[in-house]
Amino acid sequence: EAAVTQSPRNKVAVTGGKVTLSCNQTNNHNNMYWYRQDTGHGLRLIHYSYGAGSTEKGDIPDGYKASRPSQENFSLILELATPSQTSVYFCASGDAWGRPSYEQYFGPGTRLTVL
């Protein structure tokens, strides 16, 4: 069965520190996405990727970088973490346009707290 995994599942970081959130998918999907979800809100897109080596800015990219070193892996990097980045982060994968599957599949989420 298709799977998206994230690590770590929980992270406590200090203000100004560097944080890296990792995502791995075994769906063989071209596209991967990073979202954040704040309490009581929906999903907001941070960065996404169409394939290895590519990254694109989503709706709220400020303060975040992304890296897609391979088809399977997609990382979200907070170079200088701030308390406003405290949130739950979800990774997702999806097929490219023209492939039979159009939906996205989500990982379990990473709860990040920046103190």
Partner 1 sequence: AQKVTQTQTSISVMEKTTVTMDCVYETQDSSYFLFWYKQTASGEIVFLIRQDSYKKENATVGHYSLNFQKPKSSIGLIITATQIEDSAVYFCAMREGNNNRIFFGDGTQLVVKP
The residues binding partner 1 (CB under 8 A) are 31, 41-43, 45, 48, 50, 58, 88, 90, 92, 94, 96-97, 102-106, 108-109
| Residue among 65 and 106 whose Cβ is closer to partner 1 | 106
| Residue among 15 and 54 whose Cβ is closer to partner 1 | 54
- Report the nearest approach of partner 1 to the CB of residue 84 (Å): 20
Return the bridge partners of 56, or none: 48
CA–CA separation, 11 and 52 (whole Å): 26
- Report the nearest approach of partner 1 to the CB of residue 79 (Å): 25
What are the Cα distances from residue 89, in Å, to 33, 97, 112?
10, 24, 7
